[in-house]
Structure 1
Amino acid sequence: MSRDTHPGVQCPHCQSHLALVPVPGNPASGNSAVPPIPVVPITPKEEWQPPPVAEVLAVYAGRVKDSATASRGAAKVRESLNRARSAGTQRRAAQKTARRTPKSA
C-alpha cells in the first residue's frame, strides 16, 4: 500500500500520516505483559508576570533629580538620534542614485 493511499489518521498541520500504535497494558490490544506507563500529574504552567511598577520604582523613591546629568543625557540622546537620521537620509539617497539607470543617448 503506498503512502499516498494510506487510510490512516493525518496530522492537521503538516498532513503527514500518523501510525496508530497500541497502548501498552491495554487488554484490548493483547499486550497485557507490558507494565502500564505511570501517569505523571500535569501541573499547570505558571504565567510569568512582571513585578508591580510601584515595587520597581521604590528603588528610586528617595533620589533627587540631578538636572545637569539629565540635560547631558538628553543631549547625548538627541545627538545620537540626529546622527542616525542623517545616516539614514544619506543611505536612502545613495540607494536612489544606485537604482537610477543611466539614460542611453
Structure 2
Amino acid sequence: MSRDTHPGVQCPHCQSHLALVPVPGNTAPAAVPASEPTTVPTTGPAAPPVPPVTAKEEWQPPPVAEVLAAYAGRVKDTTTAMRGAARVRDSLNRARNAAAQRRAVQRTARQTPKSA
C-alpha cells in the first residue's frame, strides 16, 4: 500500500501523511472458533520478535504562497512600521551600550594593581 492510494491517512497529532507498510514476518494464522479443533501445534519454538518497520517522513514547511495568503490585500501602514523600526533600533543600541559597559568593567577587573 502506498500513500498515493491512501491520501487520507494522517497522524492525528502532527498531521503528517502516513504510509501503510506491510511488516515482513507478521503472518498470524486465521482465528479459529474454540469449538473446532486446531491443527496448528500450540507448543514449539516461538518466532523471534521482528523489529517494527517505521517509515519516517521528513517534515517540510508549508508553501510560501500559503503562508503569505493571510497577508494578501493588506495595506502597508508606514507610521506603525516606522515606529516599530525605531523601537528595534533603540533596543539594539541599548543592548550594544550595555555590552560595551560590561566589557569595560571586566577589563578593569582583570587588570592587576601595580605595586610601587
After the TM superposition, which residues 1-105 of structure 1 pair with which residues of structure 2 at under 5 Å, given as runs?
33-39=44-50, 41-105=52-116
Give the residue type in structure 2 aligned to 1:90: Q
Q: Structure 1 residue runs of 4+, over 4 Å off?
A: none
The answer for the alignment partner of 2:24 in structure 1 is none
What RMSD in Å do the two structures reach over aligned CA positions? 1.8
Percent identical pairs in the alignment equals: 72
Provide the rounded CA distance (Å) in 1 between the counterparts of 2:49 and 2:85.
Answer: 61
Deviates more, 1:35-44 or 1:50-59: 35-44
Partner deviation per Cα, 1:19-62 (whole Å, 9 max, x = no partner): xxxxxxxxxxxxx9441134355132000011111111111011
Provide the rounded CA distance (Å) in 2 between the counterparts of 1:91 and 1:38.
Answer: 61
Larger RCO, structures 1/2 (Cα 8 Å, 6+ apart): 2
Provide the rounded CA distance (Å) in 2 between the counterparts of 1:87 and 1:93.
Answer: 10
Instruction: Return the TM-score normalized by structure 2.
Output: 0.58
Provide the rounded CA distance (Å) in 2 between the counterparts of 1:43 and 1:62.
Answer: 43
Instruction: Return the TM-score normalized by structure 1.
Output: 0.64
How many residue pairs get aligned? The number is 74
SS of the residue 1:64 aligns to:
coil
Provide the rounded CA distance (Å) in 2 between the counterparts of 1:33 and 1:95.
Answer: 75
The answer for the alignment partner of 1:18 in structure 2 is none
Gaps of 5+ in 2: 1-42
